[in-house]
Amino acid sequence: MSVNKEIKKITTNTLQKMKSSGEKISMITAYDFSFAKMFDAAGIDVILVGDSASNVMAGHETTLPITLDQMIYHAQSVVRGVDRCLVVVDLPFGSYQGNSREALNSAIKVMKETGGHAIKLEGGENEVESIKRIVNSGVPVMGHLGLTPQSIYKFGTYNVRAKEAAEAEQLKKDALLLQEAGCFALVLEKIPAQLAAEVTASLHIPTIGIGAGGACDGQVLVMHDMLGINASFKPRFLRTYLDLESQINGAVQQYIADVKSSDFPNEHEQY
C-alpha cells in the first residue's frame, strides 16, 4: 500500500464519470503481485482477477474447476501490487449460483480476505436477487453477459452469442435488469458490435467489452493473450501487443546455452 496521498485511486464512481465524459476504460486481467504492480504503474484503470486463472495459471481446459479459496489467493497477491487501480475479483463457478445467501457469503469472503474492491459474477435475470443482496451489503458488483464461460457446457461452444433476435432481446433485458439490481458496470463478451452499441447506449452504467466492438465504454483482455504468451489462442477479437512466448523461449534457450558452455556465471557474477 502506498503512503503517497497524491495518488488518485480509481473507484466505481470514477468509472461512472469516465462513461459520462467519454473517456474509455482500460481493464486487464492479473493473477499475481508482480504483473499487477506493472499494470498499475503503467496506468491501467481496472485489474480483473479473472477466473481465467483456471486456464492460464492452473492449465485447466475451462474456468469451472477453480475454487473460491484459489481465487482469493490470486486476489490477495494482486491487491499487494496495486496502489491506484480498481481491483475486481471474479466469483468462481459454484460459489454463487446456489442461492443469494451463498452468493452473499462468497462476496463477503472475497472482500474480507483479499482487500479487493468489487466482485464480478456471470449471468442475467437468474442472478438479480443475489446481485441485489450483495450490493445491499455494500459490495460493488460487476455483471457479465454474452459469452459466459462458466456455462460452457450449457452452450457447447465459445461462438459469438446473441446473434439471433430472441437471444439479443433477452440480453438487452438482462442488461437493464442488472443495472436496476445495482451493478456498477457490465462485461459484454463476444456479442455482435451492433448489439453491444445498443446496450451501451441504453445504460447509464459503463460496459466493458471483450469481442463486443468499439462502442463499449471500455475494453478488457486476458493478460497472457495480449502479451502473446498464449500463442495458440487467436480469436478475432484479440490484439497482441508483444510476442512474449517467443521472447521468453529465446531468453531461456540463451540461458541454457550459457550454462551448458560454462559462459554463465563469469568472474563478475560470483563471490
Ligand X SMILES: Nc1nc(=O)c2c([nH]1)NC[C@@H]1CN(c3ccc(C(=O)N[C@@H](CCC(=O)O)C(=O)O)cc3)CN21
Ligand Y SMILES: CC(C)C(=O)C(=O)O
Which of 183, 238, 243 has its CA nearest to residue 212? 238
Does residue 51 touch ligand Y according to CB under 6 A? yes
- The answer to whether 248 and 230 have CB atoms below 8 angstroms apart is no
Q: Which does 29 bind (CB under 5 to 8 A by kind): Mg ion, ligand X, ligand Y, none?
A: ligand Y
| Residue list, annotated binding site | 51-52, 90, 120, 122
Of the candidate residues 50, 140, 218, 228, the single one contacting Mg ion (CB under 5 A): 50
Does residue 95 touch ligand Y according to CB under 6 A? no
Does residue 51 touch Mg ion according to CB under 5 A? yes
**Residue 255 phi, psi dihedral angles, 5° rounding:** -60, -45
Q: Which three cell numbers stand for residue 80?
A: 499487494
Q: Tell me the C-alpha distance between 36 and 79, whole Å.
A: 8
Residue 126 is which amino acid? N
Q: Which of 23, 102, 180, 189 is catalytic?
A: 189
Min separation Cβ 170 and ligand X, Å: 20
Of the candidate residues 12, 15, 19, 29, the single one contacting ligand Y (CB under 6 A): 29
Q: State the CB neighbour count (10 A cutoff) for residue 73.
A: 18
DSSP code of residue 151:
G
Of the candidate residues 56, 88, 89, 103, the single one contacting ligand X (CB under 6 A): 56
- The answer to whether 162 and 188 have CB atoms below 8 angstroms apart is no
Residues at the site binding ligand X, with contacts judged by CB under 6 A: 52, 55-56, 63, 147, 149, 157-159, 190, 222, 224-225, 230, 233-235
Residues at the site binding Mg ion, with contacts judged by CB under 5 A: 50-51, 90
